[in-house]
Structure 1
Amino acid sequence: MSSNKLSAVLEKQIHSLCLNDFPCGYGTWRKTKDSPEGAETEDTDALLDLLSCPHSPWQHDASWSPQAPALRQLAVLTPDRLHTDFIYNYFTTLRIVGKGVSVIDDSLLKFSKLEELVLSNNKISEIPPENLPISLKMLELRANRLSALNSLTSGRPPRLQYLGLGSNSLGSHDDTRHLTGRHWPQLVCLDLSDCEFKDQQALLSALSTLTCLRTLVLEGNPFTLAPSYPGFTVDSLPQLSCLDTSWISADERQCFRGLAKNTDLIVDRASATVSVGSVKGIPNPLMRVDGNAENAPVVNYGYFITYEFLSHQTVNLNLDRKSKSEADDVRRESSEPDTQDSMVYPEETCHDIAHVSGHSTSKLTWSECMDFSHTQTYIVSDLGGLKRFFNRGLYLTIEEEKVLSWPAASEDVPVANPSRPVKEKKSVKGKESPIKSGSTKDKSTDKKKKPVPQLVQDAPIRRILQSVHVPLQSLLTGAQQIDVLCDLGALHTESGVEASQTLEKDLGKKIKEDMKKDKESKQRGGSGTKPKNIAASKGKGKGGQESKMDFHTNKSTAVKLEPVTVELNVKLEKWQSASQAHQLLLPQQNS
């Protein structure tokens, strides 16, 4: 793989200044005392205007160094001064961002007065200190490929006051040992944000030796998810003035006083609480069912919310292949198709994985506002896995459960009057019964003899109504809780025609089962009567058509569906004072 040297990029940037071309440098365009009359020349002021005019084609993007515009002006005013050493020594700030630099070679030493070097978003994996100018005071290496700090501190340490190492794969015990005052005696500001430091006590013990340190950025590291952060950091570094872009007040320091001495209270685990509140906007499911259909089943609807969250347990990668497969099934059922794997890998070389498991609220019947009042607290010991889970986000799903309840089969229900005339039985088909309808005696007899119909429930039918992704990255950047009203949009439920067709299908299936049972009963010599479901099947088609007609009639007057909303809160436990830490942890330790 070819390397992209820093010196090559810098030479290209300097060459783009065109210090020897128009309107800079010497040339026929410059007006001098010896210039012939009528020659096309420009005054010095006109040449300077060409450098600074917003619409000038000679304007140069100087974002990579604030000295670049001044150097071009010198190329117009005093071009004879611009020799090679002067150009290199003129730069005090260089910002090479996103240029694919992978190697810092010794040509950087030509910039002997360089004080600020920004190399963010490149491909640098090693920083040789012998190639850094001794004058350097600020070094920014954010979002590179650094995986160790031993190369940066192996030789003569640079006299840095600011060091930015954020968004790199740093966090080992060796990296912690290289962040001491012996290596950085003059360091005032340190940025370790979004790295992989997990051992809070070890890191703060090393940083406490940086006597000049005043500003520290740690947000985004796994240990910052623990309840002891930031209180333990504030009390461990009394010389610190600013933590995570926030000034440390005297009251805050007083609240956490004494916490650093009670290291037995510090535990490397996080406590996260997920709360699901009210859900609004789900259409009434009974509007999709034709309740007047003869012998229609009793339909019950229930709703619940499912979501994924990181489990506090860790399992062995070689022993839990089945659990991984089950988690994949949960993800496919309750998440969007393009979601990431539901297994969070703390480290590529680690044999333990943190399992993302599915969780569910209680089931509620439909109402315009369903308040689930679901609250669950999760204790997570894998802080690295929790950080990756927050970066991925939480997937929340609304599910519907439909249960069909049917009248029990006729052979299971005792017959009211086996000697009843045949004509009376045919009254089910619409013919008038010979028994007078006004006979109160007959009515009372029927009421006594007709049993209460028993209902048999089918297996529940579940379907996903809607899913939504909830970003949780702000919990890694200082926020202690996320309180959001999830908007899942309008719910596109099955239409009235589809519901009617589904009901017809279920009725037809039930009738076939009853006919089969009746046939088996006759073959056994049973005296059961013909199931009433068959009679209903002849009139069902008409009822089904009426249901469809009603749907088409009401379709034109359908109202606009409201969006479905879900109240969600995710909160990280954080100690607000040293006394609170004692109150929360001492009872647990005693138990």
Structure 2
Amino acid sequence: MSSIKLSAVLEKQIQRLCLNDFPCGNGTWRKTEGSTEGAETEDTDDLLDLLSCRHSPWWHDKSWSPQAPALRQLAVLTPGRLHTDFIYNYFTTLRIVDKGVSVIDDGLLKFSKLEELVLSNNRISEIPAENLPSTLKILELRANRLSALNSLTNCLPPRLEYLSLGSNNLGSHEDSCHLTGRHWPQLVCLDLSDCEFKDQQALLSALSTLTCLRTLVLEGNPFTLTPSYPGFTVDSLPQLSCLDTSWISAEERQCFRGLAKNSDLIVDRASATVSVGRVRGIPDPLMRVEENAPDFPVVNYGYFITYEFLSHQTVNLVTYPSDNFHSLYMSYTAQNVTLSGHSTSKLTWSERMDFSHTQTYIVSDLGGLKRFFNQGLYLTIEEEKVLSWPAASEDVPLAKPSRLAKEKKSSKESRIKSGSTKDKSKDKKKKSVELFQDAPIRRILGSVHIPLHSLVTGGQKVLCNVRALQTESEVEATQTLEKDLGKKMKEDKKKDEESKQGGGSSSTTQKNTAASKGKGKGGQECEMDVHTDNSTSVQLEPVTVELNVELEKWQSASEAHELLLPHHNSLSKQPVLS
């Protein structure tokens, strides 16, 4: 792709102002003292209206410079003044956004009175300081292709007060060295948001030399994910008034006082805690069991949540007390970062399953963690089915593997309630049989993407109640359930008709039979009867999962001392927990 020079784009913008064409400039359309009657001329006020009216074909978008509309008015009122140098010197603000500019060439120097230059969302990879007018006070280069600040060494605009370099691939130690008071002596506001700075101590050491700095934006950098941010920044820059669009209060500054003097406590790694709570809406697996299923195989269902997280090592907070957990900061040893899968404990089905899963992840690859948060995590609900079969014998016939059985526990309880001595003896016989389990069969019930971008842009916690997507298996289960319910309704209707024809004794027998069936299924069929009385379809409750992802942040300097200082002296003796 060919390079696009900034001066070429600016020349096109000026040409589009049509300063010498109707209704601007000196033309026959202007009414003068020597104009003859009948000539096609316009009054000055009418010409100005044609410039300012949005519905006029001569209206022009002047968002690229607030001086553009004033310059067009001058082209109507005093067109003789608009020579080339006057036009260039008239502009004090230029905003060239998303125009594909890749080169800041020396043609920009013709704008000798330029004070504000906005070049966001372009393709600029270098900033040649020698091509920047010395009058600049505001320079915005957000969302470009800057990867280094090496070109900002000499001839910098000495009056620059605002500099925005956010959303660029900046973050090296050399880049920090160029952000000092020697280069920017009058800088008041600096935006470095969403860059790749990882070493907060090196960056803050450089920024502390900016004596005029009052506003600083750092959110979105990898080091802002650490527990020491923003406390270390607040205490390292006492002249700062605003950090990440929030004013720094006297109370906040007092809380972190003294933290900068103990820089040995600052650790460039993050601590993120993931918690999975209650899950609701998973369909009851017994609804999928055939009504006349054989006794074997015995089917057991289990449910668990899986997700992937970026980590060097994990700590289960249920296992390790808080004092041991924080000692991990001082006992860390380098190792490769991987995106590994994690799983909650397995629970049996219930309407509300509380997994109470909490794990903390210590991550030193801050850049990788930032990318992971920007992508978000995928949470999956899985079901595990285990079939248990008896050993082959003459007393216990084996069922065909393709047929499902009712849950063993539910079947046993239903037979006890029915009072059948035959079933009791059968249960005893089954109990004495040794069961062998097949390999677990797993299937995904649903999955959902959890956005975590807010943790990168200054948030400390993501707390949500997410809905898992309904899969084909769930739809199939719903359709099967509706089909079974419809079949049962037809059978009940047929029995009612037979009951009316047969008299009261038959009706009494039917009621007793229905009651016996309700008890024999542990109350499950009774609940189904309630649904079938009201409607012919069943709507499953949406599957929801409680999820919480939280970054650890120090709330005060004293908290940092309490958590880390006791372990600092025993750094080499601490074992790595896993």
Q: Same fold (TM over 0.5)?
A: yes
- 1:583 has 2:562 as partner: yes
Let me know the Cα RMSD of the aligned residues: 2.9
> 1:93 — aligned with what?
93
User: CA offsets, 1:392-431, max 9 Å, x none?
Assistant: 11111111111122233116979xxxxxxxxxxxxxxxxx
> 2:387 — aligned with what?
404
> 1:563 — aligned with what?
542
- Residues 70, 352 of structure 1: alpha-carbon distance in 2 compared, 3 angstrom cutoff: farther
Q: Does the aligned pair in 1 maintain the 2:158–2:185 contact within 8 Å?
A: no
Q: Does the aligned pair in 2 maintain the 1:289–1:499 contact within 8 Å?
A: no
Matches within 5 A, 1:346-361: 354-361=337-344
**Cα distance between partner residues in 2 of 1:312 and 1:150:** 34
Q: Does the aligned pair in 2 maintain the 1:129–1:158 contact within 8 Å?
A: no
Q: State the one-letter code of the partner of 1:216.
A: L
> 2:521 — aligned with what?
none
CA shift for structure 1 position 58: 1.1
Query: Which of 437, 442, 445 is 1:462 aligned to?
Result: 442
SS in 2 for 1:364: coil
Query: Which of 470, 473, 477 is 1:495 aligned to?
Result: 477
- Residues 412, 201 of structure 1: alpha-carbon distance in 2 compared, 3 angstrom cutoff: farther
Structure 2 spans left out of the alignment, 5+ residues: 315-333, 398-420, 483-527
**Cα distance between partner residues in 1 of 2:84 and 2:425:** 117
CA shift for structure 1 position 302: 1.0
Structure 1 spans left out of the alignment, 5+ residues: 315-350, 415-439, 501-549
> 2:83 — aligned with what?
83
SS in 2 for 1:462: strand
Q: Does the aligned pair in 1 maintain the 2:226–2:268 contact within 8 Å?
A: yes
CA shift for structure 1 position 365: 1.0
Q: State the one-letter code of the partner of 1:371.
A: D
Matches within 5 A, 1:179-190: 179-190=179-190
CA shift for structure 1 position 449: 8.4
Matches within 5 A, 1:186-585: 186-312=186-312, 354-410=337-393, 452-490=432-470, 492=472, 493=474, 494-495=476-477, 557-585=536-564
CA shift for structure 1 position 291: 4.6
User: CA offsets, 1:524-554, max 9 Å, x none?
Assistant: xxxxxxxxxxxxxxxxxxxxxxxxxx99x97
> 1:102 — aligned with what?
102
SS in 2 for 1:410: coil
User: CA offsets, 1:107-126, max 9 Å, x none?
Assistant: 11110000000011111111
TM-score by length of structure 1 reads 0.77
Q: Does the aligned pair in 1 maintain the 2:313–2:361 contact within 8 Å?
A: no
SS in 2 for 1:559: coil
Q: State the one-letter code of the partner of 1:387.
A: K
Q: Does the aligned pair in 2 maintain the 1:407–1:454 contact within 8 Å?
A: yes
CA shift for structure 1 position 258: 0.3
CA shift for structure 1 position 384: 0.9
Q: State the one-letter code of the partner of 1:584.
A: L
- Residues 445, 199 of structure 1: alpha-carbon distance in 2 compared, 3 angstrom cutoff: closer
> 1:424 — aligned with what?
none
CA shift for structure 1 position 23: 1.1
> 1:19 — aligned with what?
19
Q: Does the aligned pair in 2 maintain the 1:306–1:359 contact within 8 Å?
A: yes
Aligned residues: 481
**Cα distance between partner residues in 2 of 1:310 and 1:219:** 20
SS in 2 for 1:262: helix
**Cα distance between partner residues in 1 of 2:426 and 2:175:** 88
Q: Does the aligned pair in 2 maintain the 1:403–1:459 contact within 8 Å?
A: yes
**Cα distance between partner residues in 2 of 1:278 and 1:376:** 16
Q: Does the aligned pair in 2 maintain the 1:288–1:496 contact within 8 Å?
A: no
- Residues 451, 266 of structure 1: alpha-carbon distance in 2 compared, 3 angstrom cutoff: closer
Counting aligned pairs with the same residue, the percent is: 80
SS in 1 for 2:174: helix
Tell me whether 463-472 or 286-295 shows the greater mean CA deviation.
Answer: 286-295
User: CA offsets, 1:425-478, max 9 Å, x none?
Assistant: xxxxxxxxxxxxxxx9x9999999887333322111001111111111111111
User: CA offsets, 1:316-360, max 9 Å, x none?
Assistant: xxxxxxxxxxxxxxxxxxxxxxxxxxxxxxxxxxx9863110000
SS in 1 for 2:238: coil
> 1:6 — aligned with what?
6
SS in 1 for 2:565: helix
> 2:494 — aligned with what?
none
Q: Does the aligned pair in 2 maintain the 1:485–1:568 contact within 8 Å?
A: yes
User: CA offsets, 1:120-141, max 9 Å, x none?
Assistant: 1111111111111110011101
Q: State the one-letter code of the partner of 2:457.
A: T
**Cα distance between partner residues in 1 of 2:2 and 2:228:** 45
> 2:124 — aligned with what?
124
